[in-house]
């Protein structure tokens, strides 16, 4: 009899936990408005980089801190490309709160940069793109990409000016991600909101320890040609 009461009590507790989680999820959905549909802006940056019409540098503050979104900044900590020559910044001197650094040049070879800035990183990459086709360079490439960009979440992509973010969306869509869940929200260089985390210090040094940074150690990966 005693054991029956214990089992029954445990069952009731389990039901209460499940009900509580379901209620919490329902309340969260009611409290947090649905995201607007991903839609490219009808302007020069929209047509060039795919910047979103509704969620971009001007409006991003309203969409931060959501559980249904992952936030990815596609810049390098220091990019070999000289973005200063087009009024940008080769250093990741600041970031919008909540975004995690996931450098695009480590994911795939970058092509088509403005001639003035020169070339970016040319080392190992998870993928190589040739004529629009993406080839895995490592056995772990797909798993890493799926971990960094979970398909069950909405994904906000940002960089310096918008180019790396747009290239990332193109890559993910080509590899099977849902375009409706991918938002190119613009470039940090254009951000004037209230959630700006400064990384460049007054003495010219950089507080990179403030960043959530996804490092890829290529020395620990297995090249596909080794199969």
pLDDT in tens, 43-92: 999 999 999 999 999 999 999 999 999 999 999 999 999 999 999 999 99
pLDDT band at 35 (very low <50, low <70, confident <90, very high): very high
Q: Average the pLDDT over 156-170 and give the result.
A: 97
Radius of gyration of the chain (CA): 21
CA angle 113, 46, 191 (to 5 degrees): 85
Predicted local confidence at residue 27, as pLDDT: 45
Which tops the pLDDT comparison, 157 or 8? 157
pLDDT band at 16 (very low <50, low <70, confident <90, very high): low
Smallest CA-to-CA distance from 72 within 152, 138, 169, 216 is with 169
Q: Average the pLDDT over 147-163 and give the result.
A: 97
Q: What share of the chain is helix, strand, coil (3-state, %, to 5)?
A: 40, 20, 45
Beta strand pairing call for 196-198 and 94-96:
antiparallel
H-helix or E-strand containing 154? strand 154-159
Predicted local confidence at residue 161, as pLDDT: 95
Q: Would the pLDDT of 28 be above 50?
A: no
Q: Would the pLDDT of 2 be above 70?
A: no
- 108-131 pLDDT, tens digit per residue, is 999 999 999 999 999 999 999 999
Q: Average the pLDDT over 184-195 and give the result.
A: 96
DSSP 56: S
Q: Which of 12-21, 92-101, 139-148, 181-190 bottoms out in mean pLDDT, i.e. has the lowest?
A: 12-21
Q: What percent of the chain has pLDDT over 90?
A: 83
- Tell me the pTM: 0.85
Which tops the pLDDT comparison, 70 or 227? 70
Does residue 118 come out as left (phi exceeding 0), alpha (psi in the -120 to 50 range) or beta? left
Residue 205, burial from CB neighbour count under 10 angstroms (0-12, 13-18, 19+): exposed
Tell me which residue has tokens 């003035």: 116
Predicted local confidence at residue 225, as pLDDT: 76
Predicted local confidence at residue 11, as pLDDT: 56
Predicted local confidence at residue 12, as pLDDT: 62
Average pLDDT of the chain, as a whole number: 90
């Amino acid at each position: 009899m005693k054991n029956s009461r214990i089992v029954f009590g445990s069952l009731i507790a389990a039901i209460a936990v499940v009900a509580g989680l379901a209620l919490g999820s329902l309340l969260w959905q009611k409290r947090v408005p649905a995201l607007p549909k991903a839609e490219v802006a009808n302007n020069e940056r929209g047509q060039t980089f795919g910047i979103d019409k509704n969620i971009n540098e001007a409006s991003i503050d309203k969409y931060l801190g959501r559980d249904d979104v992952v936030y990815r900044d596609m810049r390098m900590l220091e990019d070999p490309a000289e973005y200063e020559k087009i009024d940008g910044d080769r250093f990741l001197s600041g970031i919008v709160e909540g975004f995690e650094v996931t450098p695009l040049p480590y994911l795939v070879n970058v092509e088509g940069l403005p001639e003035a800035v020169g070339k970016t990183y040319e080392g190992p990459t998870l993928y190589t793109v040739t004529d629009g086709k993406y080839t895995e360079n490592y056995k772990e490439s797909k798993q890493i990409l799926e971990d960094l960009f979970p398909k069950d979440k909405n994904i906000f992509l940002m960089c310096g000016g918008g180019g790396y973010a747009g290239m990332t969306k193109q890559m993910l869509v080509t590899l099977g991600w849902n375009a409706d869940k991918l938002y190119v929200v613009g470039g940090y260089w254009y951000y004037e909101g209230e959630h700006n985390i400064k990384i460049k210090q007054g003495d010219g040094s950089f507080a990179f320890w403030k960043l959530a940074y996804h490092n890829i150690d290529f020395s620990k990966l297995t090249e596909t040609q080794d199969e």
